[in-house]
Structure 1
Amino acid sequence: MTEALARDILRLARARGATVTTAESCTGGMVSAAITDVAGSSDIFHRGFVTYSNAAKRDLLGVRGDTLSRHGAVSEEVVREMAEGARAAAGADLAVAISGVAGPGGSERKPEGMVCFGLASASGTITETVQFGALGRANVREAATLRALELLQSALSEG
């Protein structure tokens, strides 16, 4: 499924002359890997960011310390800043950002399987939170990767 999505992202981005980038936390580069698994992806993907720690989010993407302090790394506020920061740093047309609780564990407020997504483009930034549930670490990361690819595909389809 991810391969078909990545191929479609490549096709759509090429058709629009668009570039994409990623800012990943809980997926640890899985979205970037899915895109770059497709031959020719260098036409649309020049770099991605794996920002697992808060320091990396601040240093590489410009996420404000105040945003992290007030909302925590797993929040729509943080993924908004991650997506916008990645888009600017990569000079990309479209950026997807992911931060979540892959597990095991979590808290009552931020349970295992809670993943926040941000998508930044020239027309603005959208965010969403998906509760995948306690599927286990590998399954949450796979589900989050799939959702991120779907967001990119949808944005490119809409133009």
Structure 2
Amino acid sequence: MSVVRSVMLKVPSATAKPGPSIGQALGPLGVNMAAFVKEFNDRTSAYTAGIPLPVKLTAMSDRTFTFEVRSPSTSHLIKMASKISAGSSNPGSKEIAGYISPQAIYEIAKIKVKDDANKGQELEGMCKTVVGTARSMGVVVREEEEEEEEEEEKEE
């Protein structure tokens, strides 16, 4: 039993269906799509349904497979925390897509530092990475009190 190939997929948590998006990736590998979907949905039932999760699937020569489910992307977690649907179309300018608190940055970093891809990275370094991702999306990091003060100034 040898490894045929590994592929990266983005699959919605707990609601995966055997369809074209999954079929195009798994079909050429000879992986049983229904078995993957069932096992994936079972493993991701703890997540909120529909969150896109990165999955690394390894197909074997005997048509079996293994897969690793990773945490949601940093940008997705930032969008959820800042309650925006998309980042800025022109990051780096004065266009602000939204705001996020330092506490939310810390919570996102705690989630991301557990991923195997981030093994060995310190929590402080991961916080800086999350802040960088937020900035590239046009999301400003600041305390909630600051947001309320600015809104009051705009109203006056």
Question: TM (normalized to structure 1)?
Answer: 0.28
Q: Who wins on radius of gyration, i.e. which is larger?
A: 2
Q: Which structure has the higher relative contact order (CA within 8 Å, separation 6+)? A: 1
TM (normalized to structure 2)? 0.29
